[in-house]
Amino acid sequence: MTNETRYGVTRPSEDDIRKGDFSTPWDAPMIPPFPFRFRNVEVMTLYWRTDPEALAFLLPPPLQPTGDVACVHIYKMNDTDWLGPYSEANVMFGAELPGKASGAYSPYLVLSSDIGVAHGREVHGQPKKLGMPSIEMRGDLIVGRVERNGIDVLTATLPYKQKPVEAAALKPHFDFATNLNLKAVNHIDGRPAIRQLTSRRLAEVTVHEAWEGPCTVELRANAQLPVYRLPVVEPLRGFYWRADFTLVAGEIIHDYLESAP
For the annotated catalytic residues, the residue numbers are 128
- The half-sphere exposure of 173 on its side-chain side, counting CA atoms within 13 A, is 22
In the chain, the largest separation of any two C-alpha atoms, in whole Å, equals 63
Distance between CA atoms of residues 54 and 82, nearest Å: 36
Give yes or no for a contact between 125 and 196, defined as CB atoms under 8 angstroms apart. Answer: yes
User: Kindly report the CA angle at 126 between 12 and 92, in degrees rounded to 5?
Assistant: 150
Instruction: Kindly list the distances between the CA atom of residue 41 and the CA atoms of 26, 91, 148, 186, 211, in Å, as whole numbers in the listed order.
Output: 29, 17, 22, 34, 14
Which stretches within the chain are classed as H helix?
14-18, 52-58, 114-119
Strand 192-201 relative to strand 86-97, pairing: unpaired
Give yes or no for a contact between 170 and 241, defined as CB atoms under 8 angstroms apart. Answer: yes
Distance between CA atoms of residues 94 and 65, nearest Å: 6
Distance between CA atoms of residues 198 and 250, nearest Å: 7
